[in-house]
Amino acid sequence: MRVGLVSQWYPPEGVFIPGNLAQQLAARGHDVRVLTTYPSYPHGRVYPGWRQRWRHVETHGPVAVRRVPAYPSHDTSALRRAASHLSFGVSSALAGPRWLGGVDVMYVYHPPPTAIAAAALVRAARRTPIVLHVQDMWPESVLQSGMSPTGLAGRVLAGGLRALMRTTYQLASAVVVISPGMADLVVERGADPARVRVVWNWTDDTLFRPVPATDAARVTLGRRDRCTVMFTGNLGLLQGVDTAIRAAAAVRDRMDLVLVGSGAYEDEARRLAAELDVDNVRFVGRRAPGEMADLYAAADWQLVCLRDLPALRGTVPSKLQAALACGAPVIAALAGDAAALVASTGAGLVCRPGNWAALAERFRQAAETPAADRAAMGERARRAYQERMCVRVGVDQFEDILTKAAARKGRP
């Protein structure tokens, strides 16, 4: 099977799914070619050592990768973010028909929705099926991010994005979502329920795995002789980091909260911690992916939190898969499928999102949980990941979905 993969995000960026899928499919004997842009996530700047140019092809083992230019941005400017997504849509559409012309099926990683532009042209010319992999619900994730305009401009943007997503869903032979709740949402937005499939996301199994705690990792976290809760990843507007900081302040004599990562809300989070005069909240910045398993092992708990918004109830943050893969017990301050997964597997503690008092109570409970009980939660977390979410399980499902879609090539 010849597979074309389109994604604005691709290694060496820390977005694991597209790169893992390409390599795993190639290892199973499929011919895979990728259409992407130059690495700039999460800082919004092209990585050192890279220079954008039009004709660039590289190989990652058996996988051929074509990179096209795009405007790099990942800051809080809605206009610059839009320019980034639109520029990739245009440049990939120009390169796509030739680069992807001979494939049997196309996989498109969403967001952004503009990534489907190249695949849509190939579909129109050759009736090549599209498998759309939805990670976030648009327009909600845009409108609730704090970056979109308000008033008439906001309503126009929302209407335009809803129409774009409805068309995108209808173009796809299969729409793959990351949770049952998200399946319901895409059907409400116009996807054919017969074409919707649920595949839980995985993480990079080679990076995120159980390892012994090291002294160096304890030093990085500023580990003290008490309960340490770690939050990793994007410090954005949708993560609800402010709730976590307020909760930690309420139990400052019992536990430490360590924030590993960066993002658009980082400055606000640091200001809040300073205003609350907390000495048990620490920011250690973004760390290399190769360091993360050691940091997971050095903490007692992993915090996964989101704001309490209807569109986020079908979201499963990637940090949850990473924590489960590392065998780390979880404190889940969110709603929907992710919270249900933690509760049903016994992988940690759950509380409702957006409520600092409820989260503070979970922090207090976490500090009082015996080490043996924490270890048992970690074992259940690891088992849940291996049985439901690991790379092998996910790629098995995608191979089946892509193969069935490819069999329909040339049909209306």
pLDDT band at 136 (very low <50, low <70, confident <90, very high): confident
User: What token pair was written down for 193?
Assistant: 């329920």
- Predicted pLDDT of residue 338: 94
pLDDT tens across 354-402, in order?
Answer: 999 999 999 999 999 999 999 999 999 999 999 999 999 999 999 999 9
- Predicted pLDDT of residue 308: 87
Non-local CB neighbours of 321 within 8 Å, separated by 6+ positions: 200, 201, 202, 203, 208, 385, 389
Non-local CB neighbours of 26 within 8 Å, separated by 6+ positions: 32, 61, 62, 63
Q: Is the pLDDT of residue 79 over 80?
A: yes
Segment 263-270 mean pLDDT: 90
Q: Which of 5, 60, 2 is nearest to 31 (CA)?
A: 2
Angstrom distances, CA of residue 316 to CA of 140, 154, 313: 15, 26, 8
Q: Which of 7, 4, 28, 148 is nearest to 391 (CA)?
A: 28
Length of the chain: 412
Find where tokens 């532009």 sit.
117
pLDDT tens across 184-239, in order?
Answer: 999 998 999 999 999 999 999 999 999 999 999 999 999 999 999 999 998 988 89
Q: Is the pLDDT of residue 81 over 90?
A: no
First and final CA of the chain: distance in angstroms? Answer: 20
Q: Is the pLDDT of residue 42 over 90?
A: no
Q: Which of 28, 366, 383, 130 is nearest to 227 (CA)?
A: 366
- Predicted pLDDT of residue 68: 98
- Predicted pLDDT of residue 145: 61
**In this structure, are residues 82 and 113 in contact, taking their beta carbons and an 8 Å threshold?**
no
- Predicted pLDDT of residue 101: 93
- The three-state secondary structure class of 340 is helix
User: What token pair was written down for 281?
Assistant: 């909240």
d(CA 25, CA 7): 16
Q: Is the pLDDT of residue 245 over 90?
A: yes
- The three-state secondary structure class of 56 is strand
**In this structure, are residues 260 and 232 in contact, taking their beta carbons and an 8 Å threshold?**
yes
pLDDT tens across 164-184, in order?
Answer: 889 999 999 999 999 999 999
Mean pLDDT rounded to a whole number for the chain: 93
**In this structure, are residues 268 and 262 in contact, taking their beta carbons and an 8 Å threshold?**
no
- Predicted pLDDT of residue 247: 98
Residue that wins the pLDDT comparison between 147 and 308? 308
Neighbours of 302 (CB within 10 A): 26
- The three-state secondary structure class of 333 is strand
Which is it for the CA torsion 111, 112, 114, 119, positive or negative? negative
Neighbours of 236 (CB within 10 A): 21
Query: Which amino acid is residue 300, in one-letter code?
Result: D
